[in-house]
Chains A and B, each alone.
Chain A
Amino acid sequence: DAGVTQSPTHLIKTRGQQVTLRCSPISGHKSVSWYQQVLGQGPQFIFQYYEKEERGRGNFPDRFSARQFPNYSSELNVNALLLGDSALYLCASSFAIQNSPLHFGNGTRLTVT
């Protein structure tokens, strides 16, 4: 079975632009979470979606938004990019919202110039 897949692998954007990152969960997994990992730090929780509904949100500005589609794939959108948004964005999927192991993708490396 395929693992969690994220696209694109790398992305370079300019300040003020908007970006969309995509994630396909493991087949059968209904929950998708997004994390931001700044270089040299641990990942920070951004969102969790379960059955197409937002079930949790971390301490991130409204410039960050996400959605989950009927096939359980997910998109993370970031508007008005800042230099500080440069990071590795990790997607993780799990079968249930709680008490299920999280499976991570390889991430999308976003560079904002």
Chain B
Amino acid sequence: AQTVTQSQPEMSVQEAETVTLSCTYDTSESDYYLFWYKQPPSRQMILVIRQEAYKQQNATENRFSVNFQKAAKSFSLKISDSQLGDAAMYFCAYRSSGAGGTSYGKLTFGQGTILTVHP
């Protein structure tokens, strides 16, 4: 079974600064997807960024980028020019590609990291 670990329960950053959230995972599969989700107090889980394991290039979405290290099974999220609206709980998540016979799109989440942004 796959596991996802986020070792930082809480992180804080000054507005306009850069912060990196860590995530490691364990899997025996070679093809899969990794995600970062943001959950603000409104409770809705919002997709921040997605990475396909077969792509060597790190995904980037505006101020959000990832450092994907497949051999090390590491998937960190970097938030540049942090804004007050970035404050939320961030979850790292894993999903099988289905190539190994998995018939559904189950997401396996980490424990989450609470990000505080100071003005």
Chain B contacts to A: CB under 8 angstroms: 4, 33, 42-47, 50, 91, 93, 97-98, 103-112
Chain B residues near A24 (CB-CB < 8 A): none
Interface of B, secondary structure class, is loop
Contact in complex: A45, B45 (CB < 8 Å): no
Chain A contact patch, size range: 20 to 34
- Evaluate contact between B91 and A58: CB separation under 8 angstroms: no
Give Cα distance in the complex from A105 to B43, angstroms.
Answer: 8
Q: Which 8 A-B pairs have the closest CB atoms?
A: A56-B104, A42-B109, A104-B45, A55-B104, A48-B104, A98-B98, A45-B106, A106-B44
A72 vs B40: C-alpha distance when bound (angstroms): 27
List chain A positions with a Cβ less than 8 A from chain B.
31, 33, 35, 40-45, 48, 50, 55-56, 58, 88, 90, 92, 94, 97-102, 104-107, 109
CB of B50 within 8 A of CB of A101, answer yes
